[in-house]
């Protein structure tokens, strides 16, 4: 019998000058980047949190605390790969699907989404057709609308042997 688990994740980072903007493992040309202990990739962080939650393994702050200098400027793709390794160690065998949303006024994400999906699928050893990445604005409302930060949310379904 197979076990199925769902998870949800959310992340937000402030936009600042003099940082690269990396979302979904893709460097996006923009005048600002996201501030964080790692590379501040909000999408990969939200996906990692969804996967960790589904597996009952805590959250990204617990697994990769900002107080630990080993994760200073860490590549979030490598952190996501470590999350997947941990899930496999606990008996999960596949990520069935991921559905995610990036919330940003600028820059526009549409042309970068195919590369994001491909990158996420490669890291999680799954077909890109099972990775959904969407983008939306907040109609100029809130911190996202004021272009102070970017947020992302994700849900996932993972499976394994009972």
Looking up tokens 């493992």 gives 25
- Local structure of 37: helix, strand or coil: coil
DSSP helix/strand/coil, 160: strand
Global pTM exceeds 0.85 = yes
Strand 33-34 relative to strand 2-16, pairing? antiparallel
pLDDT digits 0-9 by tens, 32-85: 999 998 999 999 999 999 999 999 999 998 888 888 788 888 899 999 999 999
Mean pLDDT of the chain: 95
- Looking up tokens 């200098």, which residue turns up? 69
State both tokens at 84: 């997947």
Helices (H), 26-67: 42-54, 60-63
First CA to last CA distance, the chain = 6
- Domains of the chain (ranges; CATH) run 2-161 (3.30.1330.50)
pLDDT, average across residues 129-140:
97
- Which residues, 6+ apart, have CB-to-CB distance to 17 below 8 Å? 31, 32
């Amino acid at each position: 019998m197979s076990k199925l688990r769902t998870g949800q994740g959310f992340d937000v980072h402030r936009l600042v000058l003099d940082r690269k903007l990396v979302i979904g493992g893709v460097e996006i040309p923009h005048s600002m980047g996201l501030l964080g202990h790692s590379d501040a990739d909000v999408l990969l962080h939200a996906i990692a949190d969804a996967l960790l939650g589904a597996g009952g393994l805590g959250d990204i702050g617990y697994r990769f605390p900002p107080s630990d200098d080993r994760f200073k400027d860490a590549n979030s793709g490598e952190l996501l790969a470590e999350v997947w390794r941990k899930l496999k160690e606990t008996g999960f065998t596949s990520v069935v699907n991921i559905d995610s949303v990036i919330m940003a006024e600028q820059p526009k994400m549409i042309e970068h989404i195919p590369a994001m999906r491909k990158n996420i699928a490669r890291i999680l050893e799954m077909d890109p057709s099972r990775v959904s990445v969407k983008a939306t604005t907040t109609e100029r409302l809130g911190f996202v609308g004021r272009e102070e930060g970017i947020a992302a949310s994700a849900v996932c379904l993972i499976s394994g042997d009972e």
